[in-house]
Structure 1
Amino acid sequence: MRLGLSWEFRVLSPSSHGATYGRTELVRKSHITTNGIAGTTGLDLGAHMVTKKRIDPHLRRFGAKIQRFREEAGLSQAEAAKMVNVTRSYIGQVERGITRCRKDFSERLGVALMRPEEVAEAWSELVRSAKYPQYFEDFASLESTAVLLRKYSADVVDGLLQVESYARVLLRAEDSVLARMKRQEILTREPTPMVCFILDESVLYREVGSPEIMNAQLNHLLEVSAWEKVCLQVAPTAYYRGVSGSFSIATQEDRDEAAYAGSAFGGETSEEAEQLLLVNEAFAVLQARARNVADTRTFIRRVLEERWT
């Protein structure tokens, strides 16, 4: 199955940064309907995912329960998907144990299958036991060996940059928090990869936990932004349709690449050339439109003083 991305951007805040050539190229290749980008972007990598070599037994058991509950309710995958506003293929992924669904999704699914208590119990017992979401497992492995990482965060600070208190607000399970902190060793391992982060500026204003946590988080961003192998930029916010969410690109020493795109219900990893071309173009344009490193540090300090002190 061939996949494509439908891109449409509308600039909310003007910016004097960036190159006309980069904007023109992205319009031509990605069908953007405006003449520039000032900030956020997201990607739908579709069904081209890296083949999963392992299926977590906890997720397999959870999926088997969901399949049984669905069949006992007399629903097809398509019917169940329509009731919870997802695709049929996503229901299939959950039932096969190849993706880890979020708690809020499992709650809606439980209601749709008329088994809210059983689904909630199964999610707490089985899904929370996975250290990494299964859909992220392959990319986490690629991330750990990459020589170059490029990451765009639309909603919250990237996991590699989160302080522990910030991460604890986002992650319920202790194992997940510990795993996230362990992942951050990527930034200090030898050989140290080059890591380029772009944050949507709304991330700096969005309270996670408390003002005290945000103060600690923004101070940490300032500290890490001074590291030799870290490039941190903040992009002005923009509105777009057709695509959504954060994304990451991992480049290996042999120049092989993979991209990961998050979504409200999970995420997908792709090594498809067509998708990689688009994410590379998107990141290049975002980087051109974002504040430079020095201006980013100044902006973070300003937000810290005005909002979180």
Structure 2
Amino acid sequence: MAEPRGKGKDSPELRTFGAEVRRLREAAGLNQTALAALVHVSRAYVSHVERGKTRCRFDFANRLDGALRANGEIIQAWNELLETIKSTKYATYFVNFPKVELTAGLIRVYETHIVNGLFQTEAYAGAILKNPDDTASRMGRQKQVMCSPMPKIFVVLEESVLLRQVGTVEVMREQLDYLLDLSRRDGIRVQILPPVYVEEARAAFAIATQSDRSEAAYIVNATEGVTSASAEDLASLNETFASLQAEALNVRDSRALIRKVIEERWT
């Protein structure tokens, strides 16, 4: 089968495929040099595939699958890549947000009721999801998104989220301690929104921005989330996020408020 064509190199789709190869390689306990030796290519070529810098052929994907004992997972990922790049662009209301998020260089999040999934502790996530398999899946996704090179992540969190009990008091204390820790990491900015009215903000949402500046959004509604790459939706959400950041506490004051809530409510 021929090499996939139709999308430029270094696309979100290629980076998604590369991230899956990297995940399976690391799960197999191999570095890039060892994998390269198994499939008879240079380490640089393996690196280019994992970083989404080149489009590998099906026969190479097949060799990777065998070398990593991936049981068809790499072949499935390659086939999904092929199907995706057959289209010329994302459908306006049919974007796979988790895949777009995985390859984003910038993620912006507004949360109204709970801590965002990327920042949840396992205990906090477990109290929300109930199902252990769903919790494990969320933890795995966190690891994928937060691995190097990690995207910049800006979060505006409503103050009520800090006060709303999810699980036990111990679960809440651990969650807010973890939020504090994350807020000190390079590339992560956490701001708390006081109980003020921001006219444009009507629901939680996330925006994932790629290195080529293309964007997709995930918008929470009453029953399920809606994913959109509509220019109109994204323009509105970008404006809303700017308004939220303007009304939110700055990063230092946000940390101080989180510490205060931990001491006064969750200790």
SS of the aligned residue for 1:304 comes to: helix
Corresponding residue for 2:15?
Answer: none
- Give matches, 1:141-160, under 5 Å: 141-160=99-118
8 Å contact kept, 1:186–1:192: no
Corresponding residue for 1:268?
Answer: 226
Query: Following TM superposition, by how much is the alpha carbon of 1:241 offset from its aligned partner in structure 2, in angstroms?
Result: 7.8
SS of the aligned residue for 2:216 comes to: strand
Deviations 1:125-175 (A, max 9, x none): xxxxxxxxxx99811110000000000100000000100111011102222
Provide structure 1 residue ranges, at least 5 long, that are not aligned to the other structure: 1-134
Matched, 1:193 2:155: no
When normalised by structure 2's length, the TM-score is 0.62
State the identity as a percent. Answer: 46
8 Å contact kept, 1:168–1:177: yes
Corresponding residue for 1:216?
Answer: 174
Deviations 1:211-260 (A, max 9, x none): 11110000000111110011111011235789732100000111100011
The equivalent position to 1:299 in structure 2, one of 242, 257, 260, is 257
Query: How many Å separate the matches in 2 of 1:298 and 1:136?
Result: 40
8 Å contact kept, 2:198–2:244: no
8 Å contact kept, 1:235–1:286: yes
Query: How many Å separate the matches in 1 of 2:94 and 2:189?
Result: 23
Corresponding residue for 1:174?
Answer: 132
- Give matches, 1:70-89, under 5 Å: none
Corresponding residue for 1:229?
Answer: 187
Query: How many Å separate the matches in 1 of 2:189 and 2:199?
Result: 28
8 Å contact kept, 2:176–2:258: yes
Which range is displaced more, 255-264 or 143-152? 255-264
8 Å contact kept, 2:95–2:228: no
What code does the residue aligned with 2:121 have?
V
What code does the residue aligned with 1:138 have?
N
Query: How many Å separate the matches in 2 of 1:242 and 1:258?
Result: 19
Query: How many Å separate the matches in 2 of 1:300 and 1:270?
Result: 32
Corresponding residue for 2:71?
Answer: none
8 Å contact kept, 1:136–1:267: no
What code does the residue aligned with 2:162 have?
L
Corresponding residue for 1:247?
Answer: 205
8 Å contact kept, 2:166–2:172: yes
Corresponding residue for 2:141?
Answer: 183
- Give matches, 1:84-163, under 5 Å: 138-163=96-121
8 Å contact kept, 2:95–2:229: no
8 Å contact kept, 1:261–1:267: yes
Query: How many Å separate the matches in 2 of 1:146 and 1:286?
Result: 21
RMSD: 1.9
Query: How many Å separate the matches in 1 of 2:224 and 2:199?
Result: 19
Query: How many Å separate the matches in 2 of 1:260 and 1:148?
Result: 14
Query: How many Å separate the matches in 2 of 1:242 and 1:288?
Result: 13
Corresponding residue for 1:38?
Answer: none
SS of the aligned residue for 1:190 comes to: coil
Query: How many Å separate the matches in 1 of 2:94 and 2:174?
Result: 27
Query: How many Å separate the matches in 2 of 1:157 and 1:292?
Result: 18
Query: How many Å separate the matches in 2 of 1:240 and 1:226?
Result: 27
SS of the aligned residue for 2:170 comes to: helix
Give the length in aligned residue pairs.
Answer: 175
Query: How many Å separate the matches in 2 of 1:239 and 1:194?
Result: 27
Query: Following TM superposition, by how much is the alpha carbon of 1:264 offset from its aligned partner in structure 2, in angstroms?
Result: 2.6
8 Å contact kept, 1:200–1:235: yes
What code does the residue aligned with 2:257 have?
F
